[in-house]
Amino acid sequence: MKARHLILLLVAMTLSAQAETLTPAKESKQEDMLLTQVGKQVELHLKSGEKFSGKVAFVGDKLVHLTALTGMEMFEATVSISDVSAVVVRTAK
C-alpha cells in the first residue's frame, strides 16, 4: 500500500513540475492559443496598448471572457479577440 502512495506522489510531483508552454502551429489563431489557456491566468496585450490580466473563463468566436482580473479580483471582462495582439502566459513556477 505504501508503494502505491509513493508512486502516486511521484506522478503528482512530476506533473506539477512540468512547465506549461504555448505550442502554436503554423495555422494557429489567437483564439486557438486562448482555448488552450481556459482556466488559467493570462495577460492579454491589446492593439491599443492596454493590458488585461485574469483567468480565462470562456473563449468564443469573437471574444474572450476573463474573470478574477489582476488588481480587480471582483471584476470580470470580455475582450474582443480581434483586439488582442499578444497572449502572455507564465511558463515557469
Strands 77-80 and 84-88: unpaired
> String of b and e for 1-37 (b: at least 16 CB within 10 Å)?
eeeeeeeeeeeeeeeeeeeeeeeeeeeeebbebbebb
The x, y and z cell numbers of residue 9, run together, are: 506522489
Mean pLDDT of 41-53: 95
E strand or H helix that includes residue 8: helix 2-17
pLDDT in tens, 64-88: 999 999 998 899 999 999 999 999 9
Quick check: 6 pLDDT over 90?
Answer: no
pLDDT (0 to 100) of residue 24: 65
pLDDT (0 to 100) of residue 20: 61
pLDDT (0 to 100) of residue 14: 41
User: pLDDT higher for 48 or 8?
Assistant: 48
> String of b and e for 56-93 (b: at least 16 CB within 10 Å)?
beebeeebbbbeeeeeeeeeebebebebbeebeeeeee
Quick check: 18 pLDDT over 90?
Answer: no
The x, y and z cell numbers of residue 26, run together, are: 503554423
Quick check: 19 pLDDT over 90?
Answer: no
Domains of the chain are 22-88 (2.30.30.100)
Mean pLDDT of 22-51: 87
